[in-house]
Amino acid sequence: MAAGGFCKLPNGTVVVALNLPTPMSAEADRDAASVRILVHAVNRARALTRLRNLGMRAVYLRGNAAPPTPDEVTAVLHHPDGLIWRTTPDNDVMAPPELWRPIRSLLRRPVTRT
């Protein structure tokens, strides 16, 4: 189950935040960092549907344990797709935060040459 949460905006839309394991970590490295995905949508159900339509079929939001911060809400509202991600920082390492990326860069498959 993914940790995550949501917040309702004054105009009635919601921003959903989810922490998910990276797609690459299941194959290569079990200790790899997870990713934080932010989705802006009309409601929570539509936000999860947007992720499921991208191939993330087993994504569910249970509870509101990790809602998006005000900075995360601002980031997703200023992105034209309303769907962004970045790696979740480790609690042990004090590194500068990574920039938000469009979801297409996460889902892009590496090209294999034969």
Contacts of 19 (CB under 8 A, 6+ apart): 2, 3, 4, 34, 35, 36, 37, 66, 88
DSSP for residue 101: E
pLDDT for residue 48 is more than 70: yes
Q: Are 58 and 48 in contact (CB under 8 A)?
A: no
Q: What is the pLDDT of residues 59-69, one digit of tens each?
A: 888 888 889 99
- Give pTM, 2 decimals: 0.78
**Residue 2: pLDDT over 90:** no
What's residue 106's pLDDT? 73
Highest mean pLDDT among 10-14, 35-39, 82-86, 107-111: 10-14
